[in-house]
Amino acid sequence: MSKTNGPVSLIRGALVTLFWLACSTTPVIADPVVRTLNGTVVGVKDAQVSVFKGIPYAAPPIGPLRWREPQPAEAWDKRRATAFGPACIQPVSAAQDAAFGPIGAQSEDCLTLNVWTPAPEPDAGLPVMVWIHGGGFVSGSGSLPAYDGSALAQQGAVIVTLNYRLGPLGFFAHPALDEAAPGGAVNFGLLDLIAALQWVRDNVGAFGGDPGNVTIMGESAGAQSVLALFASPLAEGLFHRGISQSPYGIPSHSQAEARAAGIEVAKALDLGGETASEAMLRGVPAAAFATLSGRSRSLAPSLVYGDAVLPAPILDLFEQGQSAALPLIIGNNSNEASVAELFGLDPASLVEKLSVAKIAVHLLYPEATDETDLARQAVRDAVFGAFGKRIADLHSRRAQTWRYYFSYLPEQQQGIEPGVPHGGEIAFVLGTLGKTPAYQAIHTPTDDQVAERVGAYWLAFARTGRPEPAGEPQWLPSTVRDSQTMEFSYQPELRERFHDRRLNILIGVIRIASIVTRIP
């Protein structure tokens, strides 16, 4: 070695030694490990929370388990829970991808859930919030970026998101299945939700959650699911309060209607329609069910009544006082009509039907700027607002019920969009403005502050059963006689009898359950 290179080599060697010494003294963050009843799961540490992804809560519903009640998942020794499971089979939706994030891989083997927890320690006693995704019972996944549970988990809750069977694989009837299992299930997707809640009851304590303090929450079809679980005798005792965001008053299907749709599905698959056998139906590749189109073949966006999980339509069960006597938050957004086309609704046709019912629609909406705005408001109130108020009024006789109206638009959309679209509140509730494609590039510090305040109400409700975060305006429960609605705009503001005149007219005169139907 030359005299010139000697000192350089010594310095290089000293730096390498110092580097390895520094590495050896840097604490290594161990992967979080939790033991469930099925076996150990190993997650990942993400900021202040531990995340466990793709945990099976039931056996794969494939082969002979297609169109069967969910069965227990097999046990395992140690399982890496670091990647989301595939979404359930569904059509590709560019609109959904743009709004909530890409759906990713799909499979019939999709009954998995995900857990975010700030303290993966047994008996930490944290409130549990279970998110049920929307998508008209034909699309969606618990792994979409908009549903990330990190923000709420960082504030001291255990967040669970999940997948459930969709479309004809999740909600299906056919004479061949009736023959094989008389009186069997039709709402397999709802049975999946019940199985997931049973998993939560049995396992969430190991993740730091309190199995005696579980809040179910969901939007659109997820909101319908929340109400269905309140009404289902099979879900009794599995949760303790609920949040229903934008449920809709589109009637459920009878089993006869579901069977007719199933026959049309069998025809579309070239199986002979009504004569298709059980073996033929179970032998169809799962992906084929995602390619079906046509209203006669689809039950979306409604459930089916008449099986064990949903004995009667949701509204009927609430009217009969058969909903679980548990605290409920329910409400809708200012521009729910944004989803009209996806629901098969024609706003202009709906206004015409309301007029036929002798309703002076224009008198109900004196602030409407034109016919388009009138139709937009009429759809919002007839399909969402009136149904939500009717449910709230009925349920308030059994348990405390809080109503809301979400009208805050992100700053860059104010003056441009006519109101908050269907699903537009989700990123504010879950604190995912920075992860939701629709808002990722446009949200401002002011938007983030509004999201923190809204999320605080939801989190307080999950903790105590009352939406009363410290330092925020009081949100009073609503009853028929004392109607209260919290409007979430820039500032939360409690309003008395908000929109009640027209909502009550729609409830009492139009009978939305029979008038608001899907347009062929």
Q: Which residues are catalytic?
A: 220, 336, 422
Residue found under tokens 């059994």: 398
In whole angstroms, what separates CA 391 from the centre of its chain? Answer: 18
Per-residue exposure over 229-261, b if at least 16 CB sit within 10 Å of its own CB, e if not: bbbbebbeebbbbbbbbbbbbbbbbeeebbbbb
Helix boundaries (H) for 323-385: 347-356, 361-364, 371-379
- Name every residue whose Cβ is closer than 8 Å to that of residue 459 and which is 6 or more positions away in sequence: 127, 129, 152, 155, 156, 157, 469
Helix axes 188-203, 221-231, angle to 10 degrees: 70
Q: Which of 518, 476, 253, 511 is nearest to 387 (CA)?
A: 511
Q: What is each CA distance from 25 to 1, 19, 21, 248, 492, in whole angstroms?
A: 33, 10, 6, 57, 49
Owner of token pair 């998993």: 199
| Element holding 201 (H helix, E strand) | helix 188-203
Using an 8 Å Cβ cutoff, are 177 and 147 in contact?
A: no
8 Å CB contact between 50 and 32: yes
Write phi, then psi, for 36 (nearest 5 degrees): -100, 175
* Spatial CA neighbour of 335 closest among 417, 223, 403: 417
CB 247 within 8 A of CB 391: yes
